[in-house]
Structure 1
């Protein structure tokens, strides 16, 4: 198959939502329809015993939440589909924001009862900023919830989207009869039996046909006709160009747990979603069809397989092909690297691939050469824009709880910080280590992973810091900078890369410091990232 056809086949997308909207369940059902797994467990009930396919970290199985983005690939209708299932919990938003730099489109999952929630608003705002095409999937239709029109209004108002329904429910909650597929003009009847993998579909091009009354009942049929009439009057017709430019968002209804409405979503997704899109670098726009490789690291994961202590860097290919055992140029390190076993993913199952194309996500075994945001090319010096690094909001001292395991603790912290889950600061005054995170739940994850993956134990102590500010003086030798260092020495630390950081205890302190030492510049993100 030609290079351009391979690009055209790819669909790389992320699934975003508030926790518990059914994101991981939807991922699993998409895999089921794609033939990638044979059966789907009821994810929530059996989380601890069985776990969802995409939640492969032990802590995720125990807490029933996704704490790390996982990558899953499968083929469907001659398309190669790459799903990035992201954490919904706000304490892991950093991972999700970075993942959104690696997707070409997004599916937003909304819970029928809870409607649009806070975390969804934040994530959709990021997608809108980048004009990422979005499809909305309104989930859990078999439960009592809000009216379909009210939900679409809420999506438009709270998320600032322009929606057009591609399918519509026949009744809701206890009265839920099925879905009318506006896109394919057919009816999908709901039997309520979640063990049935695929529901029956009846082709139905003319809703005025009296046969409809016989199939779903007279009252529901009349109501459906009225609702479809209203949709035609109120909502714009689907236009693919408007969807691709981020100006129009198709809406689908369904119940992921009951495999309902998922096939319709997948079928139209395959047809309308974009193939890999161009990406802007700091020097120029990079087109997927360029023959020379370029790609960037958007995630690093230590211990995908704790038995082997392996560390994987996730590379999103932007242009060209990535071939096994071919040397590629690491722009930040200014040297060439070869990769003998690049991996493709199916959750934690990995297989070695000889060649990968734009849109694909490749796992590279890493011994510490990569950082998030690194770029690989065939020699061109460039780096891709918009891979965020966040200033931590929570700070704690980390203490070694087992003196015999000091080495393991050091190695564990070092590797987990490379993943971007948190940042490490070493105080100048006494060399004590402080961990800064975006969300408080990260501390639990770090503690759990240090113990279970590295055999090291740690405890935390509160450290009253408001913000980390990276320090860049105009002149490192001038008296003002020396004075700043002397007065603030209790609050100065070095980050993992040896850069000077001022750990300020309040906004007021930051303002006073800026006023008193004008030649000492403070930044809320590290230039190193």
Structure 2
């Protein structure tokens, strides 16, 4: 019974958005409600140079953006919340995608003044392919916004998902007054202070309440009542099962920077989201309640704490109860492993954890054999295949200009490859041993160079490679068959880290031409064994 109670309390979710939509600001306001931080850092106004709580890497602090994913765990209103803060930069890495395999829901932040942007679409598509429930927060309502009905229409038209506004904005921009809760039929009115910030609700009641009517001008009142009538007649109905299936998104309006509407969104999310769900594996269904412990590693990060210079593996607990010092099977190697160094995480801060339950994310330190996608379990029949691989879109050679630092250069590069931040390719028949790096976005090359120098003392020089498209060939092709392929000008044969053959092309036209001239060597945009492609 204890494990069922603990599972029911768990909520594990990530926040996704386009850059500058307010994702990190919203994250910090959620932490305030959980009592996890006393002072939320401001991303939009860094006058005092406070770093954002979830951005631990020095490069992130310098750039004012989130590059890597971090885990933040806190308690709120009887729930144990595991919040995974994902990168928001446009050149994010596979790290972002992998995080989405470890969550049970996402909160999608949209700038209400801009609507749906490209990065939002890409991340949403990954969530939809996995059937992840999506909750939407329309942010920055205290600034001029698009019409709320137009925002709903865009959600349904562009993303192909039903949208049910749980609350509705009253006013717009400088005239923004608050929201109407469509479930409780209550109005939450806020007012600005002299400094421009909102303070706590000054009035809560229904639209016909004289106190509420007195605070609204006639035009605003008529507009909001007309819009609410339209939603009642023609809008999406609320269906909890459709929400949990990822077919309908509950929509909340507010302003993260002013901490307005955030609590309403958090309370609504906790009410309508679900506890950890079962996972499908080769041997059947693994339920969170079953006694056998199991989980999978979705992220590896080295040197999060410069004081320790260690390596931490992030594990999503899927079933059973985790207890510190327990012995588990590392499914890939078949070895028994004792998990003695386990931590609860809060960005780069750690706290030893003695027990954890399905839905929790724990950090395991000191296991160099662990890799991304590995299963840890007490039941050898359970093997998770949760982690997808994605097709790189950027390629660069990484030179070591200081041969005296070869050992540090190699050690750092090997660690970055193990973390999955970047991939490495080996050109066929190439005499030079210069690493050819591949990544989803070019920012990851900058991250790799920065970390090589700051963490390993190894300088590097980047040389952009001439390819933009990579496709996999059938793994069973023999050496003579590879040699017989007709390659377009500028294309090159290579092998990935698993020794699968690939072709590098300068553009999509070259890839299409290859397909036409090599009919017995079909191309794939996914490596063997991958689960899904990035949108």
Q: Does the alignment reach a TM-score above 0.5? A: yes
In 2, the alpha carbon distance for the partners of 1:35 and 1:198 equals 19
The within-5 A match list for 1:328-477 is 328-427=328-427, 428-430=429-431, 431-470=433-472, 474=476, 476=478
- 1:75-114 to 2 correspondence within 5 Å? 75-114=75-114
List alignment gaps of at least 5 residues for structure 1. none
Paired with 1:298 and 1:388, the residues of 2 have a C-alpha distance of 10
Give the 5 Å matches for 1:23-422: 23-46=23-46, 49-193=49-193, 199-200=200-201, 202-204=203-205, 206-422=206-422
Q: 1:153-181 CA distances to partner (integer Å, 9 max, x unpaired)?
A: 11111111111111111101011111222
| Cα displacement string for residues 66-119 of structure 1 (whole angstroms, at most 9, x for unaligned residues) | 111111111011100111111122321522221111111111111011111111
Q: SS where residue 326 of structure 2 aligns? A: coil
Contact between 2:189 and 2:204, CA under 8 Å: does it hold in 1? no
Rounded to whole Å, the distance in 2 between the matches of 1:20 and 1:464 is: 31
Alignment check: 8 A CA contact 1:187 1:201 kept = no
TM-superposed CA distance for 1:269, in Å, is: 1.3
Distance 1:473 1:350, change over 3 A: closer
Secondary structure of 2:396's aligned partner: strand
Unaligned runs of 5+ residues in structure 2 are: 531-535
**How far does residue 234 in structure 1 lie from its aligned partner after superposition?**
2.1
CA distance in 2, matches of 1:229, 1:444: 52
RMSD: 2.8
| Alpha-carbon distance between aligned partners in 2 of 1:167 and 1:336, rounded to the nearest angstrom | 51
- Work out the CA distance in 1 between the residues paired with 2:102 and 2:129: 15
- Check whether the contact 1:86–1:99 (CA below 8 A) recurs between aligned residues: yes
Do 1:321 and 1:355's aligned partners in 2 also have CA atoms closer than 8 Å? yes
Q: Distance in 1 between matches of 2:235 and 2:79?
A: 30
Are residues 238 and 484 of structure 1, via their aligned partners in 2, closer, same or farther at CA, if it must alter by over 3 Å? closer
In structure 2, relative to structure 1, the CA distance for the partners of 1:495 and 1:242 (3 Å cut) is closer
Distance of 1:225 and 1:53 partners within structure 2: 40
Secondary structure of 2:128's partner?
Answer: helix
Query: 1:366 offset after TM fit, Å?
Result: 4.1
CA distance in structure 1 between the partners assigned to 2:319 and 2:85 by the alignment: 23
TM-score by structure 2 length? Answer: 0.91
Report the secondary structure of 2:215's partner residue: helix
Return the alpha-carbon distance in structure 1 between the equivalents of residues 48 and 528 of structure 2.
41
Deviation at 1:271, TM superposition (A): 1.4
Change (3 A) 1:47 1:160: farther
Q: What SS does the corresponding residue of 1:410 show, helix, strand or coil?
A: helix
1:295 Cα shift? 1.1
Change in Cα spacing, 1:164 to 1:508, as seen in structure 2 (3 Å) is: closer
Kept after mapping to 2: 8 A contact 1:330/1:374:
yes
For 1:310 and 1:153, locate their aligned partners in 2 and report how far apart those are by CA, in whole Å.
48
C-alpha offsets along residues 297-324 of structure 1, whole Å, 9 cap, x if unaligned?
A: 1111111112321111111111111221
Structure-1 separation of matches of 2:236 and 2:323? 44
Partner of 2:533: none
Count of matched residue pairs:
527
Q: Which moved more, 1:54-63 or 1:500-509?
A: 500-509
Q: Give the secondary-structure state (helix, strand or coil) at the position aligned to 1:92.
A: coil
Q: Relative to 1, partners in 2 of residues 1:116 and 1:444: Cα closer, same or farther, differing over 3 Å?
A: same
For 2:488 and 2:30, how far apart are their aligned partners in 1? 58
* TM-score scaled by length of structure 1: 0.92
Q: CA deviation at 1:48?
A: 8.1
Change (3 A) 1:249 1:331: same
Higher mean displacement: 289-298 or 512-521: 512-521
